[in-house]
Structure 1
Amino acid sequence: MLSTVGTYHVVDSHTLGQTTRVIFSGGPKLAGTSVREKREDFKARFEHLKGIWLTEPRGTVSAFGLLLVPSQVADFGAIFMGTTTYEDMCGHGTIGLAATLVALGTLQAGRDDGFTLEVPAGVVSVKVLWNEDGSFSGAKLYNIPSYVYGDPLLVDTTFGQVTVDLVHSGMIYALIDAGKLSLTLEPDNLPTIINTGVTLKDEIFAAFSTREDLTSQGLHGVLFYEEEPDHDGSCSSKHVLVVGPQRYDRSPCGTGTAARLTHLVQQGRIKEGGAYRAFNLHGSNFTARPAKMADGKITAEVEGTAHIMAFSNLVVEKTDPFVSGFRSRFWK
């Protein structure tokens, strides 16, 4: 007989390589009206649960979690969390949630077209795509409106002067042409990609540290992209998001794809009816289109799919020496 301090029901999925662990039972009751307020209460009182849900030995270095919470303004609420961070919005996690809700029978073909989701950044909508046999095909996410922060920045960095475009698409991204750094976006080059991204993130943030509009939200990550020729009003590129040491997005990054789409629309390279295909390091892609353009902001439609990997009960025994988990570091 087990002597436990907690049991948590979770569903694990991956969205084109990046995992999402949805905690749908066993989570705490949170104070607050909005999802943002609930997240702040979670951070203040239940931070230790992240260690249980996401870090080793029950999780992994790259684990990502989504805590389902009630919402007063949408069908569901979601608190997004990495092992060391929280995110205001997450595209891959939202698509992973869609796959999870279908797997649990909460959403069904012929009855449910989609759902709305309150996240800390606001409310997004999701259209579920069905196969003819009623199984899950994928989802279209209609993201928080995105916009470019003015002109590109010229930043003096360890790697020389770098041109940086800042885009807000639920969080702030620094977009950088990898070719200008002679940075090859290939799996074998991943340690260099991550170390370069971490260094640039710190140096870019320092460059705009006097801008209150930016520092109040912080810089979520550096999105490296490789340019490819445009074709019939559409674009495609490989890109990699670096968030921090050991932290990069295995998926093509949903909100990062929305940011890059917004950047391309501002440049005039994608117009209404055009599309952007964003590939990850492993050859899978999201497809993004401008669903709405108004007042200098873009509502991006981001299409992708996710796959269920496990239905699990996470158990914490009283005698477990790693109740709060631990984090391993492999790269500087």
Structure 2
Amino acid sequence: LTLEREEVPELLRLGLEILHEANRTVKVQHPTEKHLNYIGLTEFALERPGKPTKNCVIFGESNVDRSPCGTGTCAKMALLAAKGLLKPGEVFDHESVVGSVFHGHYEPGPKVGEFETILPFIRGRASITGFNFLLQQKNDEMGSGFLLPK
């Protein structure tokens, strides 16, 4: 795979297959947030010496991210940092399957549980795709949020 736009249907098929199988067979658990116990996306990445790392991110039931994915960019920087391949302050460029680019860097972060972390910083171009307005009435008998607690 070269992660070109024409490959999106095949990347979507493969990404969903990988995502479903990974969630079926791999146990994950955030060290402090107990509700974070699943894999939320599949990211295909292509390292290109001298060029931004190219990626394609698959998530949900049939979605392809048009951006390089903020979560994916942070995760990639954390992985590279853990492997000693990206130093604090060093720029990491991440290009999506449609050519949009995020520029990131990180600083060392606090320990979370037993894990070292990074504090990621990302910049790129974004377009407004919608507005959301949420409110909470003081006398709401159901409490905070739209969904019932589990």
Aligned to 2:107: 291
Preserved contact between residue 55 and residue 95 of structure 2 (Cα < 8 Å): yes
Q: Distance in 2 between matches of 1:239 and 1:263?
A: 15
Q: CA RMSD in A?
A: 2.3
Gaps of 5+ in 2: 132-150
Alpha-carbon distance in structure 1 between the residues aligned to 2:48 and 2:61: 28
Asked whether 1:252 is paired with 2:72, we answer no
Max Rg structure:
1
Question: Which residue does the alignment assign to 1:303?
Answer: 123
Write the deviation string for residues 191-220 of structure 1: whole angstroms up to 9, x where unpaired.
1000000000011112214x5x26942111
Please state if 1:226 is matched with 2:42: no
Q: Which has the higher strand share?
A: 1
Distance apart, 1:249 and its partner CA: 0.6
Q: After the TM superposition, which residues 1-332 of structure 1 pair with which residues of structure 2 at under 5 Å, given as runs?
A: 183-209=1-27, 213=29, 216-217=35-36, 218-229=38-49, 236-295=52-111, 296-308=116-128
- For 1:202 and 1:310, locate their aligned partners in 2 and report how far apart those are by CA, in whole Å: 29
- Report the alpha carbon displacement of residue 273 of structure 1 after superposing the two structures with TM: 2.1
Give TM-score, length-normalised by structure 1: 0.34
Instruction: Report if aligned partners of 1:194, 1:245 keep a CA contact under 8 Å in 2.
Output: no
| 3-state SS in 2 of match to 1:307 | coil
Unaligned runs of 5+ in 1: 1-182, 312-332
The 8 Å contact of residues 265 and 271 in structure 1, kept in 2 or not, is answered as yes
Secondary structure of 2:94's aligned partner: strand
Higher relative contact order (CA 8 A, sep 6+): 1
Deviations 1:42-95 (A, max 9, x none): xxxxxxxxxxxxxxxxxxxxxxxxxxxxxxxxxxxxxxxxxxxxxxxxxxxxxx
Residue range with higher mean Cα deviation, 191-200 or 273-282: 273-282
